Amino acid sequence: MSSQCLIVGLQGLELSAEEATLFRDLQPAGYILFSRNLESAAQIRSLTDSLRDLSYESPFISIDQEGGRVWRTREFSCAPPDAATFSEKADLKQVARFGALTGQLLEILGINLNFAPVLDLDHFPEQNNGLRGRCWGNESQRVIDYAGTFNRWMRKQNVLSCGKHFPTNGLALSDPHHDLPVADISLEDLLKEDLIPYTALMPELDAIMACHLNFPQLDAQLPASLSPQILTRLLRDQLGYEGLILTDDLDMGAIVNHYGRGNDLRLAMEAGVDIPLVCHEMSTLKEAVKELEKLPNSRIDDSLKRIEKARRRINRPPTFTVDRWDSINQKMSELTSEVIGTDRYDPARPSQSPVEDY
């Protein structure tokens, strides 16, 4: 069933009766959690257990847990610094600990897929394009070393990874949460720099997330997340990637303002996406999924096979204990103090992008 290719969001701290009925019927590939779903460690584990109980197959239970502002548990856990700070101030041993502790924290919460690491090169560090502080640097080798180390050690803790945002969000001059940015760059120039972290780390990435940017020299009509030229011909055929391809959130302004629900799902999967993400607006989802029925069965089957292969790497989470949770957070606090001298980022700094507020 085509709905088994989706990752979807939910509204509150626990499943509503309506959500339980919808998700039991649709059996999505997985779920994504945001701050609105998170109140305490014990509450999260109860929620993730309920999502597993709802599913016939092991679901992907995902989150954006990058560090800094994009650290969804920051209100009740140690909040480590962002990737930019780690890249500037930490050595690779400390980055390895950051990855391992992030994985341990997510594993005990019952979360098995982290939408990290960010592999974008930070071409415009002062630009309000949704990336401020989230990148590991603006040199490809730096990103490979630091993001690769984080990724490797997080995956050792039974948490799957997702590199983002292919082919790059780092050339955006605006925030795709609001509109559709344009990056007028050739494939030749992308291959020289921005695509190098992907080609280097591809064997160690369980998934790759496509960005909502238009690259007119690669595809004059469609953004990367909906583009067969970029996702099938470039990422699959030319670069040889065999793992899962995901979209960024299709509820972002870059997509919803231009393509509409249902049409966006179909275009994404026609482009070669395995898992479209619908993170916030569920009211029309059941109707929208009917658009996917227009696709050839072979297209859906290809994605379901990749989803099943990735599912084999999902383990059941360990037993939750408060002592284990506290121990992980204590170690993260100690690491943070080593790197920046405090165990929390400054929450008083103004938000730069909706990604920080979800």
CATH number of the domain that residue 42 is part of: 3.20.20.300
Alpha helices in 110-234 (DSSP H): 140-155, 187-192, 196-201, 228
pLDDT, residue 355, reads 61
Q: What mean pLDDT do residues 133-141 have?
A: 95
Q: How far is the C-alpha of 226 from the C-alpha of 243, rounded, in Å? A: 17
CB distance 223 to 255 below 8 Å: yes
Q: How far is the C-alpha of 35 from the C-alpha of 259, rounded, in Å? A: 27
Q: What total number of domains does the chain contain?
A: 1
Distance spanning both ends of the chain, measured CA to CA? 29
For the ranges 155-164, 262-271, 339-348, which has the lowest average pLDDT? Answer: 339-348
Higher pLDDT, 173 or 89: 89
pLDDT, residue 356, reads 60
Helix, strand, coil share of the chain (percent; to 5): 45, 10, 45
CB distance 129 to 46 below 8 Å: no
CB distance 224 to 211 below 8 Å: yes
Residue 349 has pLDDT above 70, yes or no: no
For residue 126, the enclosing domain spans 2-356
Q: What mean pLDDT do residues 225-236 have?
A: 98
Nearest partner of 115 among 69, 165, 179, judged by Cα = 165
Q: What is the mean pLDDT of the chain?
A: 92
Q: Name the pTM for this structure.
A: 0.94
Q: How far is the C-alpha of 133 from the C-alpha of 235, rounded, in Å? A: 26
pLDDT, residue 254, reads 78
Residue 298 has pLDDT above 50, yes or no: yes
Q: What mean pLDDT do residues 159-181 have?
A: 88
CB distance 298 to 277 below 8 Å: no
Query: Letter for the amino acid at 247?
Result: T
Predicted confidence band at 348 (pLDDT cuts at 50, 70, 90)? very low
Q: How far is the C-alpha of 249 from the C-alpha of 93, rounded, in Å? A: 33
Predicted confidence band at 126 (pLDDT cuts at 50, 70, 90)? confident
pLDDT, residue 354, reads 61
CA–CA distance from 23 to each of 15, 16, 29 (Å)? Answer: 10, 11, 10
